[in-house]
Amino acid sequence: MAEIKVIKGTGQLTCLGLGSCIGLLAYDAESGVCGMAHIMLPEAFKDKPVDKPGKFADTGVPALLAEIEKAGGNIRRLTWVFTGGAQVFKYGAGTASKLDVGARNGEAVNAHLKKLGARILAQDIGGTSGRTMVANIETGEVRVRTVQGGEKTLCQLKRVRAEAA
């Protein structure tokens, strides 16, 4: 939770136990750099230091971009995938919108990506089921697993590899 991980070329990234949290994936097909953040809340608390930038949408998105650039990725070429944002707890009538952290997380991530002019390849957000997202960089497959729905392919990342001439 609240982590940011970046890999290049090969490997797998996983976001486990996404209830109201958002698993956010960014991929630069040309460089083969892929990053993932496990975002827990829409925004950092005012007047409190942020120990883990990946915890919040407002700090996690820029921190993920910085890590991708540091690994050799180009933020203008990124495609984005995200999942999670479920309402895992039921609340009384009239309180759901304010207390539905999952919906607020989804809205916050969407807003940050919209500001970037991001190309969103796929998303699977909302509902009442927790999820796990797994991205295999070698195959380009992004899979989502839920307890009720089983496992499905959410999307296929476009892979661009320059062949040696």
- Tell me the two tokens of residue 88: 């895992």
Residue 115 host element (H or E): helix 101-116
Per-residue pLDDT tens over the stretch 8-19: 999 999 999 999
State yes or no: is 21 an active-site residue.
yes
Query: Which strand ranges, in their side-by-side order, compose the sheet holding 150-156?
Result: 12-18, 131-136, 141-146, 150-156
Query: Which strand ranges, in their side-by-side order, compose the sheet holding 119-125?
Result: 4-8, 33-39, 22-28, 79-84, 119-125
DSSP state of 66: H
pLDDT at 148 (0 to 100): 84
CB of 151 within 8 A of CB of 14? no
Per-residue pLDDT tens over the stretch 102-140: 999 999 999 999 999 999 999 999 999 999 999 999 999
Per-residue pLDDT tens over the stretch 48-104: 989 999 999 999 999 999 999 999 999 999 999 999 999 987 765 554 566 799 999
The catalytically annotated residue of 15, 21, 34, 155 is 21
Domains of the chain: 4-156 (3.30.1330.200)
State which amino acid sits at residue 110. N
Task: Calculate helix-pair angle for 57-70, 101-116, nearest 10 degrees.
Answer: 50
For residue 157, pLDDT over 50 is answered with: yes
Average confidence score pLDDT of the chain: 91
> What does pTM read for this prediction?
0.91
- Tell me the two tokens of residue 15: 């976001």
- Tell me the two tokens of residue 83: 């999942």
